[in-house]
Structure formats: structure tokens, C-alpha cells
Structure 1
Amino acid sequence: MTPSRPSGNSGPPAIAASDSSDHAAAAPIQMSGKSEKSKVPQQSWQYALRSGVAGGLAACAAKTVVGPLDRVKILFQASNPEFAKYTGSWTGALKAMRDIYRSDGGKGLFRGHSATLLRIFPYGGIKFLAYEQVRAMVIRSKAEETHLRRFLAGSIAGCFSVLATYPLEVIRVRLAFETKSHGRVGLSDICRTIYNEKVPAPRAPPQLGSAIPESAASAISASTQAISAVTQQRGLANFFRGFTPTLWGMIPYAGSSFLTHDAAGDFMRKPALAPYTILPLSERTQRQLAPNKPAPLRAWAELTTGALAGLVSQTLSYPLEVIRRRMQVGGVVGDGHRLTMTEVAGNIYKTKGFRGFYVGLGIGYVKVVPLAATSFFVYERMKVFFGI
């Protein structure tokens, strides 16, 4: 997938997938000095910028493809009262989209999409950029290219992207959760609502007694009161609801996504499958013939690797995603109390049992499979376009 990968995977499959005339015609291009000279070093800022833009464009394309399903999934996960009746059935998503379309038209299916694109471009850009750079640091040779290192590189990249874009994710979810048809709910309205949501004062801390000096106890009490006052007057903390489960969920999601994509790509390039999965040399551009790059896959094969990545990552991380959605809309469906991960998980299990952690998973599969497939496919094509 990445330019840092040694050419060991790309040599034999490419020859097996093409005839001798193709290979003979391509050889002078591969050996030319022009290709080597035009190669962008992976540790350079040019490579980082190009990979970031490519990742951002790929993420935007993928999110647009699944925009309507994304909104319905959020409504299901967050237990929106108007759509709770549709959960638990495969046809529920279609019925929910039908109701949204009848009440709000086509725009209703993409409510919150502008906030989605605003967030997803930097999110996707940072994720792919970070993966390329972290991968180059943890996998410096073919011998070091293990599943664990691939998983680690993907997890770190996902965490970086979440840290940079999380408040935008909360805004997007709240826009998608909004179902009122009267009036127009804009980005500024949602931001103002989230900011002004009052947060109940935290529970009083336990009495410290004589465990510490009285002066220290007074200082701690004063600090707690000050923090409580600031929290209630300044609602910036509301933009980070669900941040902890997001980070925890990103570890298996991003890690397994990149791991599965790279592993599936290796499988597709095996000599037995190469004649059917690898793009023939006669159909490749000069940039795709650059040395030290894995053999490019056909469109259907690249889409398949991305789809498998989405399927695996969604299955592993979905319970944490449900917890995150509930925390993000806590100011709407609850009393405003900022619940912890364990409290939210306990409430889900108490009301719906173990199945509550997989509400909307069917939609998740329908959404994430094309999402991941489109994302990886567009990213690989953008890398070729940008010459990296």
C-alpha cells in the first residue's frame, strides 16, 4: 500500500500477471533515471502534504457516498425517540430514510453533511498522513513488516486524527441527530446549543478528614468549586463528550482497518491470484511503474480489500461506537449529566441487554463496507495522481 514497502511483493506477481511483451516494454520505464529523480522522499514535507490532501479527498468522497445511511445510523445509535421503532430490522433503515425524505426532502438525508465534510477532510488527511509516516518509522524493512506493527501504525494514526478533529465530530453528530422540521438548524445554532448546555455540578468530594492538613483541604475544596463554576459557565467541555470511548474505539478500528487492508492486499498479489487481481503492465501509467512500489490492483480487487477492512474494523469497534454516540448526545436525550463510559455502558446493558451494544450494526455494515472501500480506493488513486 505504501511507498515504503519493499518491492519484493510487486516483482513476481507483476510478471505473472502480464505477458513477456508487456514486461519488455515496461522495463525501460522502470529503469529510467527520470522515475528515480521524480520520486518524492517519504519523510519530506512534500510527501506529507500530498498524502494528507489525498487522504482528505478520499475521506470526503467516501462520506458523501454513504451520507444518508450515516445519518440514519446515528439516529439509531443515539436512540432518537422518533426512530426507535425502526431499530432491530433490516428494513428499518429504508423506512427511516423514507420518513426523513417525506418530512425534510433530500436535504434531510444529508443534514449535518457540511459539518461532516468540514471534519472529515482534516480527519482523513491526518489519518492517512500519520499512517504513512508512522509506518515508515515502525516498519523499516520487509523483515519488520508484521501484523502487530501494521496494527500499531494504524492505531496511532487513528488516535492522531481523533485528537485533531473531535469537536467537529460532536457538531456533526448533533446536526445529524436533529430531526425538527420547523425552521432551519444551522451550524452556528448547533454550536451555540452545545456550548450553552448546562452541566450539573459534580458530586461533592468525600470528606478528607485528618488525612491531609486543613490548609491543603481548603485549597482542594476551593479549586473544585472554581473548576465547577468554570465548567458550568463555559461549555467548551461539551464539545468533548464521548472523547474517551472514541480514543479507545479508534485503537481497534483504525488498527484493524489498516492491518486488514494491507494483509488483504498482500493476499491479492499472491502469484496464484495475480493474473486476475493485478493491473497488467500494459494498462499502467508511468507513475504506477515506479520502482519500489507494490503492484497496483485492479479496481474490483482494491475495492474488495477496502471492503474487508471496513467489515473487520466495524465488528471489533462497534460497541464502543454506540457508547460514544450516547455520550455525544447526552445533552439532548438525558438530563445533561456528563456520564462516564462505565455509566453509559451500564445503562445500555440495563435497558437493552447485550444486544443494545449492537443496535444499528446492520446499517453499520451497509455503511462502513462501501465507506472503507471508497476511501482506500480513492486514496490509492490519489497517491498515483500526486506522484507518491
Structure 2
Amino acid sequence: MYNLHDPILPGPSKKTRNYYRISSEKGRTTMASVKKDNRLTSSQSFMCVGFAGFFSKTATSPLEVVKIKSQVGTFHCKRGFCQSFLLIYHNDGLRGFWKGNFASCLRLFPYTAVHLTTYKKIVHLHMDDMGFISQWRAILAGGLAGIAAALATYPLEVVETRLIAQSCREPTYISVFHTLSSIYRREGFLALYRGFSLTVLGAFPFSIGCYAVYMNLDKLWQEPPFRFTPLQNFINGCLAAGVAQTLSYPFETVKRKMQAQSAHLPHLGGVDVHFSGMIDCFTQVVKNKGILSLWNGLTANTIKIVPYFGLLFTCFEMCKQVCLYRNGYIVSPLSYKLTPGVDQSLRPYELEEVKRYLKNRNFGSEESSIGNRW
């Protein structure tokens, strides 16, 4: 799932200076605004984020399928984490591990665009005159931006859940568009936003978890946050995601059950409890399955964090290096070695203008020398 629980971009990097860095001012932890890497165009930044998200989600899709089936409560996940993979393979085949992945990847681009735009606006509203914003406000801004992005793309999340919950042998839905049209036609427009309130409610424990982790990072590493290496920032991101997702996980579990349940699907979508609303779903789950069942699929979700963020970081940096090489800032797409004589503070279009100017000047000099010889 790619929603407010998933950061859009990797954490701070000494090499790229492309994100927000953590610093200390007068003893209080703050998040300073650092200009994004102007060596990339807006379209290139967007493409890097989209490609990294697409690749990392596709690679970790089997774990996402097991997680969602565990949350919904289908029969595939009644025997534990390891047996779930065998049952899914036996009943749905190898393609069963990538059910709903296209819908999930399709959400990336509109989600990213809305999230980044909203986050930027909220952060700038709360910055002080020095360009600083407190840690909890920055995290809250991320939560609000996630809610706005989820609102814009929530129907695709419902589609993802339905496609994963159904059986490949007797499919009710054929494609993303067919799923959207079927749900709208049979169940109405509001069915495409069933369980959305749980996204809003889950944002609060998620933000608290992030805040708790980031407020104690200096104690964990015993050094100021602005000195963290890229590896430390990667570990920090994984820790924050693990804690935050664990705290907000019950809300996501109930949301997935609400998304999957439908009177028009066999066995009501395979949901392991029958309910009439959000509160009733919480009640039925705790009453019939026990309170720990609200964390069904947490193992798959936790295991997914490291490879997901690892691939996200790696793919983003690789894609960015290719763009920087094409723009002329580095000598090779395989390293960050800067091109000699190139002003790294110039924007891509400014660098092109400088190159064009130098080329024309050199061409004019050659013509002048030929004229003098004549």
C-alpha cells in the first residue's frame, strides 16, 4: 500500500542535499528547509520518485498481498505467515502475488503529485522568518498531506483490495477499470470511499509514532541529527515506519475489511467477520477473533519495510544520477563525480544557456580568426 504510511522520498542525504535536514537551534529540535536539488527539473524529480516507487512496490508485492489477505481474513492466511505463500501459490498461481499491483502502482503518480504539493504548502505556512519549522509540525504536515493524497486516490486503493481478496480462478473483477465501474454501478459512489475515515483516524497514531522516533534519534546515535550519514537516515526511516505503522495498524486492518466486504462478492469478499459499519467491525473483530487479530499481517508488513525502503532509496538515487548525467552535472551515471568546470548551483536551463553562450562565443572566435587570415 502506498499511502500516508509511506514516505514519498528518501531521507536526508549529504550527497544530494535534496531534502529536509534535521538540525538543532537553541536546544530545540527543528527541521530546516533546504532548497531541493535544482539540478533536476520538476519533471525529472517526479519521474525519479515515480520510478522508485513503482519498482519497490512491484518487488515487494508478494509481501503486500500476504499482508492484505491476512487483514481481510481470507482462508489463505489461516495457517500462518509461511503457509500463506504456499496457499496463495497453490490457489492463485504465481500471478496471485502481483494481484492489485497495477492499481497500486497507478496510484503513485497522482498520490505523489498531491502529497508533495500539499506538504510544501503546509510547511511554508508554518515556517518562521528563519525558514525553520518544528519537528512535530513537519510530521503533522506530512500526515495532512497524506490524507489529502489518499482522498484523491482512495478509489484505487479499494480496487487494489478487491483484486487481491478475490480468487484468480473465479474472478469477479477483470481489470482496474472494470473494478471501478462495477463497484460504482452495483454499490454506488460512496462504496469507492468505504473506510476512508479510518485513514484519517490512523493518521494520528502514525504521526505520534514518527514523532516519538525522531525525537529520540540523537539519543539512539549519540550525536546531533544533522551529522547523520545516509545509512543512519535509512535506518531512521525504517524505524519510524515500523513504529508508526504498528501503532496505526488496527485502523488499516479494519479499513481493509470494509473495503473488501461486499454483498455482490462470493462469501462477502472473504472477510472473516460480518459487520454493519466501522465501530461494529472493530467490535466483531475483537469479539470473534481477539484483539491481537487487529494486527494480522504485521509480520509481512514489518519484513517488507527494509527491502521496500532499500529499493526506494537505491532506485531513486540511480534514476537521479542518470538525470544529473544527462543534464551535464556529473561525469558518469555510475558515480557522483562532478563535471569539472560546471557550476553546480545553476539550474538545468541556466546551464544550457551557458553552454550555448560559450559555444556561440567559440564559434564567433573561430570566424574572426579565419577572417584575419584572409
TM-score, normalisation: structure 1: 0.63
Alignment equivalent of 2:203, drawn from 250, 257, 263? 250
- Give the equivalent residue in structure 1 for 2:64: 70
1:1-388 matches, cutoff 5 A: 1=12, 3=18, 5=20, 40=38, 47=42, 51-80=45-74, 82-86=75-79, 92-140=80-128, 144-182=132-170, 185-198=174-187, 235-253=188-206, 256-257=209-210, 260=213, 264=217, 270=223, 278=229, 297=230, 300-331=231-262, 332=265, 333-334=267-268, 339-375=276-312, 378-379=315-316
Deviations 1:248-279 (A, max 9, x none): 213443674588579759976946995xx63x
Shift of 1:71: 0.5
Shift of 1:334: 4.0
Supply the distance in 1 between the matched residues of 2:286 and 2:103 (Cα, whole angstroms).
Answer: 31
Supply the distance in 2 between the matched residues of 1:381 and 1:258 (Cα, whole angstroms).
Answer: 30
Amino acid at match of 2:145: A
Residues 6 and 73 of structure 1: CA distance in aligned 2, closer, same or farther (over 3 Å): closer
Q: Quick check: 131-140 or 338-347, which moved more?
A: 131-140
Supply the distance in 2 between the matched residues of 1:141 and 1:58 (Cα, whole angstroms).
Answer: 34
Name the structure with the higher helix share.
1
Shift of 1:361: 1.6
Q: Quick check: 156-165 or 367-376, which moved more?
A: 367-376
Task: Check whether the contact 2:218–2:224 (CA below 8 A) recurs between aligned residues.
Answer: no
Task: Check whether the contact 1:51–1:129 (CA below 8 A) recurs between aligned residues.
Answer: no
Residues 271 and 241 of structure 1: CA distance in aligned 2, closer, same or farther (over 3 Å): closer
Shift of 1:386: 6.0
- Give the equivalent residue in structure 1 for 2:29: none
Supply the distance in 2 between the matched residues of 1:138 and 1:259 (Cα, whole angstroms).
Answer: 20
Shift of 1:106: 2.1
Aligned-residue identity in percent: 27
Task: Check whether the contact 1:162–1:247 (CA below 8 A) recurs between aligned residues.
Answer: no
Amino acid at match of 2:176: L
Residues 255 and 118 of structure 1: CA distance in aligned 2, closer, same or farther (over 3 Å): farther
Shift of 1:323: 0.9
Supply the distance in 2 between the matched residues of 1:381 and 1:268 (Cα, whole angstroms).
Answer: 28
- Give the equivalent residue in structure 1 for 2:31: none
Amino acid at match of 1:62: S
Supply the distance in 2 between the matched residues of 1:378 and 1:265 (Cα, whole angstroms).
Answer: 28
Residues 327 and 53 of structure 1: CA distance in aligned 2, closer, same or farther (over 3 Å): same
Task: Check whether the contact 1:319–1:357 (CA below 8 A) recurs between aligned residues.
Answer: yes
Task: Check whether the contact 2:275–2:284 (CA below 8 A) recurs between aligned residues.
Answer: no
Amino acid at match of 1:63: K
Amino acid at match of 1:313: A
- Give the equivalent residue in structure 1 for 2:358: none
Aligned length: 293
Task: Check whether the contact 1:150–1:255 (CA below 8 A) recurs between aligned residues.
Answer: no
SS across alignment from 2:78: helix
Shift of 1:126: 3.1
Supply the distance in 2 between the matched residues of 1:124 and 1:238 (Cα, whole angstroms).
Answer: 24
Task: Check whether the contact 1:156–1:251 (CA below 8 A) recurs between aligned residues.
Answer: no
Residues 320 and 156 of structure 1: CA distance in aligned 2, closer, same or farther (over 3 Å): same
Residues 328 and 6 of structure 1: CA distance in aligned 2, closer, same or farther (over 3 Å): closer
Amino acid at match of 1:66: T
TM-score, normalisation: structure 2: 0.65
Task: Check whether the contact 1:124–1:161 (CA below 8 A) recurs between aligned residues.
Answer: yes
Task: Check whether the contact 2:55–2:311 (CA below 8 A) recurs between aligned residues.
Answer: yes
Higher RCO structure, 1 or 2 (CA under 8 Å, sep 6+): 1
Amino acid at match of 1:341: M
Amino acid at match of 2:282: A
Residues 272 and 134 of structure 1: CA distance in aligned 2, closer, same or farther (over 3 Å): closer
Structure 1 runs not aligned, ≥5 long: 10-35, 87-91, 199-234, 279-296
Shift of 1:182: 4.4
- Give the equivalent residue in structure 1 for 2:357: none
Q: Quick check: 356-365 or 334-343, which moved more?
A: 334-343
